[in-house]
Structure formats: structure tokens, C-alpha cells
Amino acid sequence: MASRTILANLRRTVLVMLALVGVSMPALGQQVRAQVQGNYPQLQDNAEAFIGDVEGRSARNLRRYASTAVSQVSEALRALGYYNPKISWTLEPGDADADADNQPRLLLIIVPGEPVRVKTRQVDISGPGAEDSKLSGNLPAKPALGDVLNHGAYDALRNTLPIRARRRGYFDGKLTAHALTVNPQTLEADIALAYDSGERYRLGEVTFTEGHWFELELLDKFVSFEPGTLYHADEIATLSGNLSASGYFSGINIDAVPERAEDGVIPVQVELTRRQRRSLATGVGFSTDVGPRFRGNWREHWVNPQGHSRSADAELAQLRQSISAGYKIPLNPLMTDRLRFSGGLQREDIEDVESELATLGVQWQHRFETDWLQILSLRWEGEKYTIGDDDETGTSSLLLPGASYSRLVQDSALDPSKGHNLRIDVSGAHRALLSAVDILHVKASVKGLTTLAYKHRFLARFQIGGLGTNSFTDVPPSLRFFAGGDQSVRGYGYETLSPLNDSGATEGGRYLLAGSVEYQYEFINNWRAALFVDHGNAVNDLLDPLATGTGVGVRWISPVGPLRLDLAKGLNPEFGGDWRLHFSMGPEL
């Protein structure tokens, strides 16, 4: 008896899952076939799936199996609300040892009849949870009054309350009534659910087991809730996610089970395992802007019990070589705010500009509740540069206070379907503050993405920049504006769009204007075709002409992010426009 009950429950669970997802299974070599009369694709799929594969049987064996197959199909149809089907069967003779086309077959002819529909639906919640809109509100709409009964939809409705309740801390909650009453004669179904929530538990004090090595003051900053906060599983998930994202730990175990609660308060105990102190990573990449490049990265993830860290990075490419180092001090809130000291050396030889740049600086990063990220900085830059064939050489020494504000909103970090990215950077220098020239440097960018009907994506971006100075010739190339390349105006070389000096060398401009619109179509999963138009230039006068590029491309959404290959045509040969291939990788926003 027990085995029959288990088997029946298992079959019913399978039915419910199949009813929810509408699985269709192949029938190669299948000796039992179901044929539903009329246009009922879900019934057809469910009947075939529940019968399963029946192969290698004789005609005599199939005849004995017929009553079982009829019962299986009847149960499959009941899962979707059809309680009074008419099922007949015929046996097509054949040879069990023959090939698939000539084997005996059992054919089930199914007339579904009229379905059972939902007559009443009553869901009652008692206890404190009745006043909790996140528990009692917005319940699944199906099955609704008048709907054809679907057992999968009923089970989803019945399970919603216990699942929600546990996530929200109603650990003593229980279904006091869960009845689905079906009358096959009147074709009516009545749903009655009652749930008693019990009291909602609270989160207690967070304690960290010994052996973590870090200061408790640092670890306490990871905790985003106060003792006595109403329980929600997201609070525990956030704590675990923050600890994991910190980079300090290789193992995190959080014990916050209701069985350890006292007077409805759950103590939270956290056990941490420190990760290896240092790590080294290397990688290679390629873009048509700078060609192949090699990158190396060294990290000391924790320097002291206060959670300080330091790092060093190097990049080697044909057009650019750099090395930098940084020291980071976490602030509060720990996951968003930090103080960072940095220094670096960079050498570039791009188009007509060769430069060597040294930097030293400090940054304070803070994220507002509105999700805007603020970075206030003070950096010193020393640059030695040559423009053209020794036409213009110079050195500069600048102390540049700056501020950056950015906000990124997207529905997925790897491959968003919608979102936007706003950014503005302002920096300046003054002769009274250890600088050789007065400078005000402003750059802003906007990117947007939306998707229609799942496959049609539209992207747009716009950049604008301006440089105010009392002596443009004393402004180093790193602070002038250039356009052209993979991330700017395609169809033109990297940083080749720029005003020219008297010798015809690109020297950089006072202003930057660049925009792009792009359409993408997903022709197969993770592959998209693209059409685009880019328009922009770096100029000394806002009325100067701009360059245009257009083309086609393909996008592959790889496990590490989008890869982009474009064939672009620069439409302005006077600016160097021509056919160009562009390859790049990285996020759309």
C-alpha cells in the first residue's frame, strides 16, 4: 500500500511538472501513440510525455498494456482539467523483431470532452502575516475563476504561501486547509486554502567565530541590519554576498536557523576562512585600437587586520605600456566606500603623439543612496611628449583636483537587455597650485540600451568634452581630445580624428563630440548581427565638420562578456575614412 502511494505521488508530481512546462518528447521507435482529437497541443504533449517510451513489445504484450496506457492518458488529461475524456484504442499488427516502421503499435484515440472549470477560489491568511502585504499580496492569478483547472497552477498557488513565509521569517506558519474539490459531473472545481502565519521571527546579534584574524570593527561593517530586524532571507544573502565580494575569504558559513531561536530571535553565527594572502594573474587580449596586449596583476588581498590591501598592474602592448600600483583602505559602508592611493608610469606612441606620463594620486570613493558613485581625487601628473616629427615637444607638471559622478543601471551585468550609464568627469589645474598652466577639463557620456520583442536591441551613446585653458600649447596630449577607433567613430584609425598642427600632425582638440546608434538582431542564441552609424570628431571649434562611419558587425555573448567584430566604412576620406575592421570586447554599457 505504501509503495502504491509513493508511486502515485511520484506520477502526480511528474504530471504537474509536465503540465507547467509543456514538455514534448520524441517518439522514435515508439509503440504506443496517443492521438488527441481537435486542437489541444498541451494535452497531446502531456499524454505522450506521461506514456513515455514503449519499445520492443509484441502485439500480445501491447494488448495487455492497453488498459495501463488508457489509465496513464486519463491521469495526464486530469492534470490539465479534462476529467471526462473518451479513450478508445486499436492495435496495429506487426512484427516485434522488425524495424521501427513495421513493429506492432497501440494507437489511443482521445476525445477530451468538456473541461472542469474553477467555480470558487478562497484563500484566507490568519495571524500577523495577514497584515504583511509582501506575504499576502500579489498572489498568483492562476487558477482564476472560470479558468480550466490546471493542477500545476493549483500547486503553485498552494506552495506560494509557505515559500514566501519562510523567506520572510514566519517559520511557524502552516497550511491549516488545502482542498481542491472536483466534481466531474458538474465540471466544477472549488479551491480552498487557509494559512496561519504564526509570529514573524527577528534577526539577533551577529557573531563571528574565532580564527578569522580580522578586527571585529571591520567585520561588523559587513552587517547591514541591526539586532531585532524582522527576518528576511535576503538579509542573510546580502551578508554572505558582501563577505564573498570583499576578497578576504575563501569560505563563508552562516548559521541562522530558526531552531536556535530564543523568544523568536535568531542568533546569527558566521564562520570565515581566510583566502590566500596573495594572488597573481596574467592574461592576453586583443583590440584593433592597440593590437595584442599582455596584462599582469598582483594582489595582496589583506595587508593587516583592518582590511587594507595593495596591488600592482602591468600592461604591455605595441602602442601602450604601463605599470601602476595602488593601496586601498576600506571605509564605511565597506562595500562601496574606500580611500585609494596610487601611482603609475605610462608610455604611449599613438599616431603622431608620443608621450611618457607619470602619476601620483589619491581617490575617495563614495556611493550615495540614489546609486550615484562619487569619486573625489587629487593627482599629480608629469608628462613629457612629442607631437609629429619633433614639431612640438614639451613637458608639463600639473596638480589636478577632480570629481567624477557616474550611475549605471542595468538588468544584467553580463548581457543586459535594458539599462543606461551616465558619467561626468571634471578636473582642473591652476598656476597658483603647483601647475604650469590653467586648465578646466570636462567630459560627459551617456549610454542607453533597450530591447524589443526579445531579439531587437537598440543602443545609443553620446560623448561630449571641453577644455578651457589660458595656453593650449602647454596642455599635454593626455588632456587633449582625440576621436576615432573601436569605442569612438568606427571606420577611422584609433585617435586619428583630431585637428592638425602646421606640419599636418594630429595634435588633439579643445572639444569632443561623438555619438552612435546601433541596431542588433539575435539570429541564434548568443549571436547577434549589428548595423551602426557613428558620427563625431575632436575639434577646436564646435562648428567644425564631423566625421561619419557606418557598417555591419557580429556580436557573440561569450561566458566572459560580449565580443564584437565590425566592418566599418569611414565616409569622410578627408579625415582618413576607409574600410576598417574593428574588434573589441567588454560590456555594452
Q: What is the pTM of this model?
A: 0.79
CATH number, domain of 94, equals 3.10.20.310
Cell matching residue 195: 494559512
What share of the chain in percent tops pLDDT 90?
81
- The range of the structural domain enclosing residue 97 comes to 2-111
Q: For residues 342 and 363, is the Cβ–Cβ distance under 8 A?
A: yes
Asked whether residue 11 is domain-assigned, the answer is: yes
- 131 lies in the same domain as 103: no
SS (H, E, C) 257-277: CHHHCECCEEEEEEEEEECCC
Q: Average pLDDT in the 469-489 region? A: 95
- 174 lies in the same domain as 220: no
DSSP notation for 370-392: TS-EEEEEEEEEEEEEEETTTTE
Asked whether residue 307 is domain-assigned, the answer is: no
pLDDT at 56: 76
Instruction: Provide CB contacts within 8 A for 129, sequence distance 6+.
Output: 135, 136, 165, 168, 170, 173, 195, 197, 198, 200
Helix axis angle for 151-167 and 233-245, nearest 10°, is 70
Domain termination residue (choose one: 79, 111, 143) = 111
Phi-psi region of 307 (alpha: psi -120 to 50; beta: other; left: phi over 0): left
- 454 lies in the same domain as 517: yes
- Residue 396: burial class (beta carbons within 10 Å; 0-12, 13-18, 19+): buried
Decide if pLDDT at 496 tops 80: yes
Domain count, the chain: 4
- DSSP H stretches of helix in 55-101: 59-78
Asked whether residue 419 is domain-assigned, the answer is: yes
> Which amino acid makes up residue 304?
N
pLDDT one-digit tens code per residue, 105-162 = 899 999 999 999 999 999 999 999 999 999 999 999 999 999 999 999 999 999 999 9
State yes or no: cis peptide before 143, omega within 30 of 0.
Answer: yes
Decide if pLDDT at 170 tops 80: yes
Domain termination residue (choose one: 196, 218, 252) = 196
What share of the chain in percent tops pLDDT 70?
93
Decide if pLDDT at 24 tops 50: no
pLDDT one-digit tens code per residue, 425-478 = 999 999 999 998 999 999 999 999 999 999 999 999 999 999 999 999 999 999
Domain termination residue (choose one: 111, 130, 159) = 111
pLDDT one-digit tens code per residue, 325-343 = 999 999 998 889 999 999 9
- 487 lies in the same domain as 354: yes
Asked whether residue 314 is domain-assigned, the answer is: no
Asked whether residue 324 is domain-assigned, the answer is: no
- 435 lies in the same domain as 483: yes
Residues 345 and 383: their CA atoms lie apart, in Å, by 10
- 7 lies in the same domain as 107: yes
Decide if pLDDT at 97 tops 70: no
- 35 lies in the same domain as 54: yes
CATH number, domain of 364, equals 2.40.160.50
Average pLDDT over all residues of the chain: 91
pLDDT at 22: 41
